[in-house]
Amino acid sequence: MQLTLSENLLWGLGIGLKFLLSALVFYRRLYRRLPFFSFYAVLLVVEVTVVWWVYREWGYRSFPAWYSYWWASAVVLFARALVVAELCWTSLRTYPAIWPWVRRLLSLIASVALGYAAVTALRTSPSPLATFVLASERALEIAFAVILVALVGFGARYMAVLGPVERSIVIGLGVYSGFQVINNTFMQEWMNRYFHWWVSMRVIAFDIAMLVWIVPLRKALPPAEPERTLISESGAIRLLRELLASMREITEEMKRIARSKWK
Instruction: Catalog residues that contact another protein under the rule CB under 8 A.
Output: 95-98, 100-101, 142, 145-146, 148-149, 152-153, 155-162, 167, 171, 174, 178, 181-182, 184-185, 228-231, 233, 235-237, 239-244, 246-251, 253-255, 257-258, 261-262
Task: Give the residue with the Cβ less far from another protein, 104 or 123.
Answer: 104
| Nearer to another protein among residue 126 and residue 223 (C-beta) | 223
Tell me how far, at minimum, the Cβ of 167 lies from another protein, in Å. Answer: 7
The distance of closest approach from Cβ of residue 258 to another protein in the complex, given in angstroms and rounded to an integer, is 6
* Residue 99 or 197 with smaller CB distance to another protein: 99
Using CA of residue 21, residue 27, residue 31, residue 33, what is the dihedral sign?
Answer: negative
In the bound state with another protein, the residue whose beta carbon lies nearer, of 61 and 255, is 255
Q: To the nearest whole angstrom, how small is the minimum distance from the Cβ of residue 53 to another protein?
A: 34
Minimum CB distance to another protein, residue 253 (Å): 6
Least distance in angstroms from the C-beta of 184 to another protein: 8
Smaller CB distance to another protein: residue 21 or 170?
Answer: 170
